[in-house]
Amino acid sequence: MFDILWICLTYCIGSVPFGLVFAKTFCRIDPRTAGSGNVGATNVARLCGKAWGAATLACDLLKGTIPVFIAMQYSTSELVWTLTALAAILGHLYSCFLGFKGGKAVATSIGVLIPLAFWQLLIAVCICLFLIWRSGFVSLGSLALVTSMPILLALSGKFSLLPLSLIILALVFWSHRENIRRLAKGEEKTWVKK
């Protein structure tokens, strides 16, 4: 019973739209109607500056990391860990506070993987950052990150995390479908562009 309550609470935590809270409170801007229309860190950084973008990124990471870390302390069930991770991600994607709309879940996905597969994630983040540095496209780096995770997990023998990583891959690709279309057409904005 506690597992179910924890997973539901994690969904609510994942639903907290920190980017919207920061942008509206401190910049008087609604990121849903400005920039890319997304409540995530990249759009908040474009609209409010790097500091608020970094704050959004940190909070979106932590709302994935902390619930999974706590689940790993009280439960030995990898199923509970996985469902907790998915609850945080789905909360960010389909926030109960935003009419079941939300962000693109990259930061929260990274957050849930920190306690589960830190070293594999570190390599994936390096790949992501390299691609962002070379191309200027956060979306391209994000897609590379979630694509590389299942491969890195398989190579390191963490097969129990493969289902979670493949679900994350599918969810992030779905949330980036418009970005993928823009990348294909050469219309995607770089992270520094307004």
pLDDT at 136: 87
**Does residue 90 lie within any of the structural domains?**
yes
* 193 domain-assigned: no
Q: Say what the pLDDT of residue 146 is.
A: 97
Amino acid at 57: L
Q: Is residue 93 part of a domain?
A: yes
- Domain of residue 47, residue span: 1-185
Residue 190 in domain: no
pLDDT at 194: 41
Domain annotation covers residue 191: no
Q: What is the residue-level pLDDT of the chain in tens, covering all 194 positions? A: 788 999 999 999 999 999 999 998 988 888 888 877 788 888 898 888 889 989 999 999 999 999 999 999 999 999 999 999 999 999 999 999 999 998 899 999 999 999 999 999 999 999 999 999 998 898 899 999 999 999 999 999 999 999 999 999 999 999 999 989 999 988 887 765 44
Q: Does residue 181 form part of some domain?
A: yes
Residue 192 lies in a domain: no
The pLDDT value recorded for residue 36 is 76
* pTM, 2 dp: 0.91
Tally of domains within the chain: 1
Q: Is residue 84 part of a domain?
A: yes
